[in-house]
Amino acid sequence: MHAILRRLGRLSQFAAGATLALALVAPAAHAQPVSLNQASQPGYTQTRYPIVLVHGLLGFKTLLGVDMFYGIPEALQRDGAQVFVAQVSGANSSEVRGEQLLAQVKDILAITGAAKVNLIGHSHGGPTVRYVAGVAPQLVASVTSVGGVNRGSRVADLVRGGLPPGSVQESVANEAVKGLAQLMGVLSGAPDYPQVPKAALDSLSTAGAADFNRRFPQGLADGCGDGPSAVNGVRYYSWTGNRVLTNPLDPSDAPLALLWPVHGEANDGLVAVCSTRLGRHLGDYRQNHLDEINHFVGLRDLFSVDPVTLYRQHANRLKQQGL
């Protein structure tokens, strides 16, 4: 059994690394989408407060001309939304990333004159935006978690099992991922934020998430249902994907498919659907973890809703709520 677990751990690390490489490097060879496949509807996405998009692990704002949230900011801005894309540490704890985001939120409020922001976080961006709402609810109108690691990921648990704290393996892996995160920071023109991959791994584990949730329980669902829809004046929402093989042309599908069995329940490849629940849950879609931000360069399940449409619909939802 131990041999099998070790093999699964190595397989998970390889699959996760391959998925990230495909998502972060290959899209740079393509231009931004010319058509977003939605007719313009002036005012449709014009929220009262600015929208701030927050990336997950090893994410970025723009890398070599390609947006992490592929085509999404443009689609929201076109019909009235003020949109900002945050840049936080690609690999660090939820709390460190949250403090970095909080500073950017204050800058955005100063620039726009707005009283609050609408935060939308993908993957590790979910706990990151929850941290800001937890420590400064007066600055946040809404929190939306997309494929958020709100109760941890079994993939992180498996990787952590193969990298015991204080071990040589952990040290080597930490330095390798740290170097990758720093390189991506340089290529994306990001601030020189600290990169501590082992802190990120701990935050993304089920044990780390449980500790975070004890301190920041706002909006957290009990089990796989909805959580409180409003806490301390902040509205909470979530949605996620529940598939891995979504498009035969998408090279990220195969690595994510290798991770599917690790969770033991429906998942998007990296996060189980029940782990993503926060506030009012808006649905599970035929998307994998990268489809949720419209990667790999917009390739997706043709029988599922366009990811860009989900963001537009949500902006309109926030507008209708006076947010």
Convert the pLDDT of each residue in 131-161 to its tens digit. Answer: 999 999 999 999 999 999 999 999 999 999 9
Domain of 67, in residue numbers: 2-320
| Residue 265 pLDDT grade (very low, low, confident, very high; cuts 50, 70, 90) | very high
**What pLDDT, on the 0 to 100 scale, is given for residue 28?**
36
Interval 163-172 mean pLDDT: 92
pTM: 0.89
**Residue 46: CB atoms within 10 Å:** 17
Domain total for the chain?
Answer: 1
Query: What whole-number distance in Å separates Cα of residue 146 and Cα of residue 116?
Result: 20
Tell me the catalytic residues.
123, 268, 289
Confidence (pLDDT) at 38: 62
CATH number for 131: 3.40.50.1820
* pLDDT (0 to 100) of residue 297: 81
Mean pLDDT of 97-118: 98
Does 11 have pLDDT greater than 50?
Answer: no
Strand bridging mode 140-146 / 230-231: unpaired
What's the confidence (pLDDT) of residue 8? 38
Rounded CA-CA distance 318/219 in Å is 17
The pLDDT value recorded for residue 64 is 85
Task: Give the pLDDT of residue 12.
Answer: 43
DSSP 223-257: TTS---SEETTEEEEEEEE--S---TT-TTHHHHH
SS3 202: helix
82: pLDDT strictly greater than 70: yes
